[in-house]
Every structure is written in C-alpha cells, then in structure tokens.
C-alpha cells in the first residue's frame, strides 16, 4: 500500500499543477490601455469613482479581464466591481467583486467600477482591458468608454474618456 501511494504522488502533483495552470491561464487576443482612472474616498458625500462601460459588439461570447493599477504600478483590481443592468430593479446586478475577470455574452454590456469606501486611500493610475474568445474568427469585439465621477458635498463633476478613440479593439 505504501509503495502504491508513493508511486501515485508524482501523478497527483502533475494533475494539481495542470489544474491550477488552466484555471489561471488567460490567452489575451486583444487589449486597450485606459489612463486617468481614479478612486478616492473622504466620506459618504465626498469621493471619486472611475467606471468603464464595455460592450461586446459581436455575435460571439468573450471573456474580459480588467486590471486596475495605481500610481506606483501596484495592482488594485481588488477594489473593482463588475455590474450589469437589471430588468426587475432600479439597482445594478453585481456580476463579480474584487476580480476584473468576467464573461461578456454577445451583444451585451457590463459596467466595471473602481471605487473605495471607508478607506483612506487615493488611487490615481490606469486600467488595462483584455479580452479572449473561444471563437477564432473574432477580431475586435469590444467598444468601451471610461468615466470619472467626482462628488464633494453638494457639487459633482463627470467626465468621459473614449477608449481606443471610440474604435473597436
């Protein structure tokens, strides 16, 4: 019995390593870099939030990965949320929190938010939007726009940033 379990150990290790490698692999087929991403929290009425609106304009599903980085190049994607609209509520539907990887079905849109709450941090950096698809014919499936919302007391400001000059990527 001992001999059998020792001989199975290398096989088990190989299977574990292959399983974890496939779970984290993401073959990027296209990307765009977004500057001017900001997030800051003073209190519930004074804050800055950045958003990315991403739409799949093809007839094929794609997998997206959005990564946010601060001024020093540190990954701050853990502060993001991926949201969708709702047919039955005025609220957003949360697709994922703390990870920027999500499925984007054909013809649909998602809203990716970088925001802080109850933390004394000021993020000023950039984002990278990457996509992958099982359909080898898909070339430029995404269009996107970035936005930044600032609120300070009773004053608010909003700006938008076309991603890739408004062209598909």
Q: What is the pLDDT of residues 10-31, one digit of tens each?
A: 444 444 444 444 445 678 999 9
CATH class of the domain whose range is 28-166: mainly beta
Summarised one tens digit per residue, pLDDT across range 143-168 is: 999 999 999 999 999 999 899 999 99
Summarised one tens digit per residue, pLDDT across range 57-88 is: 999 999 999 999 999 999 999 999 999 998 88
pLDDT on residue 87: 85
Measure Cα distances from 142 to 108, 133, 163 in Å: 10, 11, 10
Q: How far is Cα 158 from Cα 156, in angstroms, rounded to an integer?
A: 7
Domain boundaries, the chain: 28-166
Q: What is the pTM of this model?
A: 0.81
17's CB contacts (< 8 A; 6+ apart) are none
% of the chain with per-residue pLDDT over 90: 70
**Closest CA relative to residue 58, chosen from 133, 6, 114:** 133
């Amino acid at each position: 019995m001992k001999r059998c379990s020792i001989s199975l150990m290398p096989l088990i290790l190989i299977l574990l390593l292959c399983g974890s490698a496939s779970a984290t692999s993401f073959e990027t087929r296209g990307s765009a870099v977004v500057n001017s991403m900001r997030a800051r929290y003073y209190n519930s009425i004074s804050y800055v939030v950045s958003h990315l609106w991403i739409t799949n304009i093809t007839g094929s599903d794609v997998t997206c990965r959005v990564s946010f980085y601060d001024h020093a190049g540190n990954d701050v994607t853990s502060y993001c949320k991926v949201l969708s609209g709702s047919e039955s509520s005025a609220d957003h539907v949360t697709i994922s929190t703390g990870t920027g990887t999500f499925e984007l079905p054909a013809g649909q849109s998602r809203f990716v938010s970088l925001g802080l709450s109850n933390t004394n941090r000021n993020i000023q950096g950039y984002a990278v939007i990457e996509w992958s698809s099982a359909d080898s014919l898909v070339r430029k499936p995404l269009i996107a726009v970035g936005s930044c919302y600032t609120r300070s007391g009773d004053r608010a400001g909003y700006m938008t940033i076309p991603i890739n000059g408004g062209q598909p990527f």
